[in-house]
């Protein structure tokens, strides 16, 4: 599909770059980053590029995932630019401690996911958040040109739109939030000064996007309550400017998952997996390690299902994949220990010499093995306690080239608004999840096909390219109408 950017260059700005640098035995290695934003957005970003990056190409600005010594920075910068179209924002460990592990992941992340008891309210974390948003602002200004389009992503950079607006008043700026925007009653738990700064920061954009109508409404409500600004038809007037706030449910690269599932080597791998697991039914669980994902409840629900349905024992395996994430935050470490113990306890209780009920991997799976696992699995059990969207649910459905397979989905995931043919569960109810596992395993094949077909049509139509194109189209349209209004 032709991008609607025309001759314009897109500057994508997010905390994490699509590549993460690691250092092993003194050598820098580059690997694909983990998480919904990158796995979803990379397809669009890559579609804008030629095979070799040139001056005209779009640029992704962000942190490379590691603090890099000064002397190594020029070489890393050059490699990131040439090979990945990326412009690194180098930040040292002490800064990332307070910014990324601190305000982003100990304040905003838990609060916006309704885990207010885990939320830290510390001034020095907030100050570092402001400071790092300024560092990003300087980085963007270093390379931005007046005819660029800027698209900022996610909760790490909510002050950046207004900071950039001050420096580049005429550049179109879009912002998209990849996590939930909470109800005002939750948002107002932030000290008023911080809350108002976040609102004003976001309103520096011309267009602010959210995954669901609820998040959009919550945001508009907070704007009204905190800044006293009225809104009509998703438009907020601030000073001389109008800001558009709208809903754009993010899609996936449907073709990539659907076609990969049909590749002969992926089919072979999927058959090998099934044989390895004794030709039993497979229930799949894949997440980044995160307390929002509801992994503990899911494990308990699987145990309850086995207890309530002894005839299913030895006939089903739970394939549990947990992708390491944010190891520097305490809660993530204690959660890892908790999962390890729970898996051991359940396997000890139900396992036999012939059967391990839960097969557990704590690692990142690249595309082919992941799709092989999606296609081998009879059921995907996706039960986050709260999730902005959850792209894994969409990927699972897309990878079902034969339309077999059942998605069990939490009603607390943004994806539940679209994937209405999934079996919906309340992730807080272990009984409900256990019941849904039985229902999924016993669902007739024609019913599975009917449901998947409907969801696949939607996912193929509203894929990530369409999502991004709609956002960009609306962003450029906003600027156009602003210009016309100013000329009158």
400 token code pair = 């079902």
Closest residue by beta carbon to ligand G6P: 35
387 is catalytic: yes
Q: What is the CB neighbour count within 10 angstroms for residue 406?
A: 26
Asked if 36 interacts with ligand G6P (CB under 6 A), we say: yes
Binding region for ligand G6P (CB under 6 A) out of 32-40, 192-200, 233-241, 276-284: 32-40
Min CB(66)–ligand G6P separation in Å = 12
Asked if 5 interacts with ligand G6P (CB under 6 A), we say: no
Asked if 35 interacts with ligand G6P (CB under 6 A), we say: yes
| Half-sphere exposure in the Cβ direction for 452 (13 Å, CA) | 28
What residues form DSSP beta bridges with 32?
19
What residues form DSSP beta bridges with 347?
none
CB nearer ligand G6P, residue 16 or residue 258: 16
Applying CB under 6 A, which of residues 9, 16, 211, 218 lies at the interface with ligand G6P? Answer: 16
CB nearer ligand G6P, residue 274 or residue 288: 288
Min CB(326)–ligand G6P separation in Å = 5
Min CB(374)–ligand G6P separation in Å = 19
* Tokens 């809660």 sit on residue: 331
CB nearer ligand G6P, residue 289 or residue 306: 289
Site string for ligand G6P, 107-146 (x = CB under 6 A): ----------------------------------------
Chain mean position to CA 483: 34
* Tokens 């982003």 sit on residue: 104
Asked if 408 interacts with ligand G6P (CB under 6 A), we say: no
CB nearer ligand G6P, residue 20 or residue 263: 20
Catalytic one of 206, 290, 378, 387: 387
Binding region for ligand G6P (CB under 6 A) out of 31-39, 255-263, 312-320, 331-339: 31-39
Q: How many helices (H) and strands (E) does the chain have?
A: 18, 17
Asked if 98 interacts with ligand G6P (CB under 6 A), we say: no
Asked if 96 interacts with ligand G6P (CB under 6 A), we say: no
Q: What is the CB neighbour count within 10 angstroms for residue 440?
A: 21
Min CB(102)–ligand G6P separation in Å = 12
Min CB(42)–ligand G6P separation in Å = 12
Angle at 222 (CA atoms; ends 217, 227), nearest 5 degrees:
135
Min CB(253)–ligand G6P separation in Å = 16
66 burial via Cβ count (<10 Å: 0-12, 13-18, 19+):
middle
Contacts of 126 (CB under 8 A, 6+ apart): 103, 107, 191, 194
Min CB(205)–ligand G6P separation in Å = 17
Site string for ligand G6P, 269-308 (x = CB under 6 A): ----------------------------------------
Angle at 224 (CA atoms; ends 222, 228), nearest 5 degrees:
125
114 token code pair = 């309704």
95 token code pair = 């800064």
C-alpha closest to that of 179 among 391, 424, 395, 473: 391
Q: Do 371 and 257 meet the contact criterion of CB atoms below 8 Å apart?
A: yes
CB nearer ligand G6P, residue 154 or residue 418: 154
Distance spanning both ends of the chain, measured CA to CA = 35
Site string for ligand G6P, 320-359 (x = CB under 6 A): -----xx---------------------------------
Catalytic one of 113, 178, 211, 218: 178
Asked if 178 interacts with ligand G6P (CB under 6 A), we say: yes
231 is catalytic: no
**Total residues binding ligand G6P (CB under 6 A):** 10
Min CB(329)–ligand G6P separation in Å = 9
Binding region for ligand G6P (CB under 6 A) out of 33-41, 185-193, 260-268, 419-427: 33-41
Rounded to whole angstroms, the Cα distance separating 12 from 14 reads 7
Applying CB under 6 A, which of residues 108, 111, 163, 179 lies at the interface with ligand G6P? Answer: 179
Contacts of 140 (CB under 8 A, 6+ apart): 11, 13, 61, 150, 160, 164
Applying CB under 6 A, which of residues 154, 418, 463, 469 lies at the interface with ligand G6P? Answer: 154
234 token code pair = 């998703």
132 token code pair = 């790092």
Asked if 426 interacts with ligand G6P (CB under 6 A), we say: no
Binding region for ligand G6P (CB under 6 A) out of 34-42, 248-256, 431-439, 461-469: 34-42
Binding footprint of ligand G6P on the chain (CB under 6 A): 16, 34-37, 154, 178-179, 325-326
For the annotated catalytic residues, the residue numbers are 178, 387
């Amino acid at each position: 599909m032709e991008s609607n950017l025309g001759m314009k260059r897109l500057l994508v700005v997010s905390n994490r770059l699509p590549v993460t640098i690691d250092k092993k035995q003194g050598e820098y290695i580059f690997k694909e980053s983990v998480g919904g934003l990158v796995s979803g957005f990379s397809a669009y970003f890559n579609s804008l590029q030629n095979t070799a990056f040139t001056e005209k190409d779009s640029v992704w600005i962000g942190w490379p995932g590691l603090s890099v010594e000064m002397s190594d920075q020029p070489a890393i910068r050059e490699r990131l630019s040439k090979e990945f179209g990326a412009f690194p924002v180098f930040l040292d460990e002490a800064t990332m401690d307070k910014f990324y592990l601190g305000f982003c992941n100990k304040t905003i992340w838990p609060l916006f996911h309704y885990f207010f008891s885990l939320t830290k309210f510390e001034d020095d974390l907030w100050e570092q958040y402001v400071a790092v948003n300024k560092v990003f602002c300087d980085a963007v200004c270093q390379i931005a040109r007046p005819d660029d389009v800027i698209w900022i992503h996610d909760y790490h950079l909510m002050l950046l739109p207004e900071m950039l607006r001050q420096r580049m008043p005429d550049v179109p700026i879009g912002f998209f939030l990849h996590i939930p925007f909470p109800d005002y009653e939750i948002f107002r738990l932030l000290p008023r000064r911080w809350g108002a700064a976040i609102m004003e920061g976001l309103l520096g954009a011309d267009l602010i996007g959210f995954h669901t109508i609820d998040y959009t409404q919550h945001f508009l409500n907070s704007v009204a309550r905190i800044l006293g600004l009225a809104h009509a038809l998703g438009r907020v007037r601030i000073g001389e400017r109008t800001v558009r706030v709208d809903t754009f449910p993010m899609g996936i690269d449907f073709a990539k998952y659907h076609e990969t599932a049909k590749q002969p080597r992926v089919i072979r791998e999927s058959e090998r997996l099934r044989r390895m697991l004794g030709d039993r039914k497979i229930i799949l669980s894949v997440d980044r390690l995160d307390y929002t994902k509801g992994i503990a409840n899911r494990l308990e629900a699987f145990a309850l299902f086995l207890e309530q349905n002894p005839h299913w024992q030895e006939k089903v395996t739970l394939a549990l994949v947990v992708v390491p994430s944010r190891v520097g935050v305490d809660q993530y470490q204690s959660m890892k220990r908790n999962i390890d113990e729970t898996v051991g306890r359940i396997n000890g209780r139900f396992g036999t010499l012939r059967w391990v009920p839960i097969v557990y991997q704590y690692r990142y799976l690249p595309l082919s093995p992941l799709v092989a696992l999606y296609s081998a699995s009879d059921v995907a059990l996706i039960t986050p306690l709260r999730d902005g969207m959850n792209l894994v649910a969409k990927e699972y459905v897309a990878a079902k080239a034969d339309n077999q397979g059942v998605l069990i989905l939490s009603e607390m995931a943004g994806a539940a608004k679209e994937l209405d043919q999934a079996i919906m569960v309340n992730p807080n109810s272990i009984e409900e999840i256990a019941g849904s596992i039985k229902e999924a395993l016993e669902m007739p094949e024609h019913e599975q096909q009917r449901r998947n077909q409907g969801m696949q049509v939607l996912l193929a139509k509203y894929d990530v390219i369409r999502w991004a194109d709609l956002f960009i189209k609306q962003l450029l349209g906003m600027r156009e109408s602003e210009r016309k209004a100013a000329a009158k």
